[in-house]
Amino acid sequence: MVARLVTLTMVAWLAGCSWLNDDEGVFVDRRDDYLTAAQKPPLVVPDGLTADALTDPFPIPPTPEQVNAEFFPKQPPLPDAIYTGDNRGEVRIQRLSTRRWLAVPESPVTVWPKLKQFLAENGMTVTYEQPADGRIDTDWFVVQPATQQTYRDVVRLVLQESRKNSNLATGRERLRIRLERGMQELSSEIHVREENDSQGLPSPPAVASLNGISSSLPEAEDELLRELGAYIAARVSEQTVSRVAANISGVQKAELARDMAGHPVLRLRLDYERAWAALSKALENGGVEILSADDGAGVYTIRVPESVFTGKEPGFFSRMLSLGRKKSEDLRVMLTGEGESFDVTVQDGSGGAPADDLSQQVLVLIKEYAV
C-alpha cells in the first residue's frame, strides 16, 4: 500500500513539472512572449472632450515588423541603430543627373503647413490639393516683365529672371509640388516642377507622382527649390503639425527587414538610378573600402578594415559591433529588383551568407547614410 502511494505521488509530481514550467504555471517562461506581442490601440477621447496635442517625453522608438520572428525566439533582433551624418540637420538640395529635390530634416506633418504658407505668402492660389499623396498644384498665373509686375514676390521674381534668360515671353506659369517621406526617419523630400502652358501640352491634372514630368524652365526649378529651402530653414523651429498630412507617402523609401530565410535585407522603394546612387553615397561616406563596383550587375565589393573591429580608429562598426573578428572582411553588396523596388543584400567573398549580425549592421550603415 505504501509503495503504491509513493508511486502515485511520484507520477503526480513528474506530471506537475510541466505545469510548473509552462506559460500558465507558477514559473512562467516569458522569453518568447514578444513573438505574439501586439501594438495597443491609441487612446480614444470620449465625445464632448477636447483632444489636445500631447507630446510623449519618453517616446519608444518604433519596432520594425519581423515577418519571421520565429527564426530567433531565443535571441530577439536588436533595435535598429541610430547614426547621424554631419549634415543630417540641414535643409539642402540633392542632385542626381538632371534631377533635383529638397531634403528637409523634418517629418512631412510639420513640413506640409510650411509649404502651404510659402505659397500663400507668394500669392499662389492652390487649385489641387491631395494631402495623402503630398501633392499641391497652383493655379495658372501670369508673370509680367519687371517693369509691369505689380505683385512682387520671390516666385515671380525667380520666374522673371528665368524667362528672361531663356528668351521666353509668352504663356502662363504654374507650380506642381510633391512632398514625400525622406530616406531617414523624420525627414522629408520636396519635389517641384514649373510648367509654362505655351511650351507644349501641360501634363495631366491630378497626377500623384511627378517623376515623368519635366519643368519648362529647369533653371527656375532649381532657384525655386533654393527659395523654398531658405524659407523652411528659417522656420525650422516652428512645429505646427498638419493632421491631414499624417499619411503623406506612407511607404518608407528605405526599410530594414528579413527575407523568408531569416537573413537581413534593406528594401529601397526607388528607381534603379537613385537606388544605385544612394547605395554608392552610403558606402562612400560609411568608412568602408570600396574594392570594385559593377553598375550593370548592381554589385559592390567592399572591405571592412581591421581597425573597425579592433577599435583602433573610431568608426561606425567599432561602435556598433562586438563580433570578435580580428581580420578584414571582404563582402559583396548586391542590388536586385525592378521598377521602383530594389533589395540590398550582403554576401561574403565567396558568395555565401555572412553572419546575420554583420549583414544587419552593414545594411544599417547603408540605410543611415543613404540620401
Point out the least confidently predicted range of 132-146, 296-310, 353-367.
296-310
Q: Of 101, 67, 8, 44, which is closest to residue 261 (Cα–Cα)?
A: 67
Mean pLDDT of 207-221: 91
Q: CA 155 to CA 46: how far, in whole Å? A: 45
CA–chain centroid gap for 50, Å, is: 33
Q: What is the pLDDT of residues 158-203, one digit of tens each?
A: 999 999 999 999 999 999 999 999 888 888 999 999 999 999 888 8
Q: Identify the CATH number of the domain defined by range 255-369.
A: 3.30.310.170
In this prediction, residue 318 carries a pLDDT of: 46
Give the range among 40-49, 55-64, 137-146, 360-369 with minimum mean pLDDT. 55-64
Predicted confidence (pLDDT) per residue in 307-365, tens digit: 544 445 545 544 454 444 445 678 999 999 999 899 999 998 777 778 787 888 889 88
> Residue 267 forms beta bridges with which residues?
255, 343
Q: What mean pLDDT comes out for the span 52-61?
A: 59
Q: Could you give the CA distance from residue 365 to residue 132 in angstroms, rounded to a whole number?
A: 30
Model confidence over 256-265: pLDDT tens digits?
A: 888 888 889 9
DSSP character string of 330-342: EEEEEEEEETTEE
Supply the angle between the helices 218-234 and 108-121 in degrees, to the nearest 10: 110
pLDDT digits (tens, 9 = 90+) for 58-81: 656 555 555 555 555 555 555 555
Could you tell me the CA-to-CA distances from 309 to 25, 78, 305, 314, 332 in Å, in that order? 44, 19, 8, 10, 18
- What's the CA gap between 262 and 67, in Å, rounded? 9
What's the chain's average pLDDT?
79
Q: How far apart are CA 219 and CA 162, in angstroms?
A: 6
What's the rounded mean pLDDT across residues 267-289?
90
Check whether 2 has a pLDDT greater than 60.
no
**According to the model, what pLDDT value does residue 362 have?**
87
Q: One fold for both 92-245 and 255-369?
A: yes
Mean pLDDT along residues 206-213: 87
pLDDT of residue 57: 62
The CATH number that domain 92-245 falls under is: 3.30.310.80
| 239, pLDDT greater than 70 | no
- The Cα–Cα gap between 218 and 100 comes to 10
Residue 190 pairs with which residues in a beta bridge? 102, 179
Strands (DSSP E) contained in the chain are 92-96, 99-104, 126-130, 135-138, 173-181, 188-196, 254-258, 264-268, 289-294, 299-304, 329-338, 341-348
Domain boundaries, the chain: 92-245, 255-369
Q: Give yes or no for residue 50 having a pLDDT over 90.
A: no
Q: What is the structure's pLDDT at 88?
A: 61
How many other β-carbons are positioned within 10 Å of the β-carbon of residue 202? 16
Instruction: Give residues with Cβ within 8 angstroms of 123, minimum separation 6.
Output: 141, 151, 153, 155, 156
Classified as helix, coil or strand, 344 is: strand
| Residue with the larger pLDDT of the pair 51 and 122 | 122
What percentage of the chain has pLDDT greater than the value 70? 68
- Residue 284 confidence (pLDDT): 87
What is the average per-residue pLDDT within 48-65? Answer: 61
Q: pLDDT band at 1, cuts 50/70/90?
A: low
In DSSP terms, 95 is beta-bridged to 100
Q: CA of 109: how far to CAs of 92, 94, 186, 238, 296, in Å?
A: 19, 21, 9, 12, 38
Q: What are the beta bridge partners of residue 293?
A: 300
> Taking a C-beta distance cutoff of 8 angstroms, is the pair 315, 307 a contact?
yes
* pLDDT for res 26: 60
Distance CA 344, CA 265 (A): 6
18 pLDDT above the threshold of 90: no
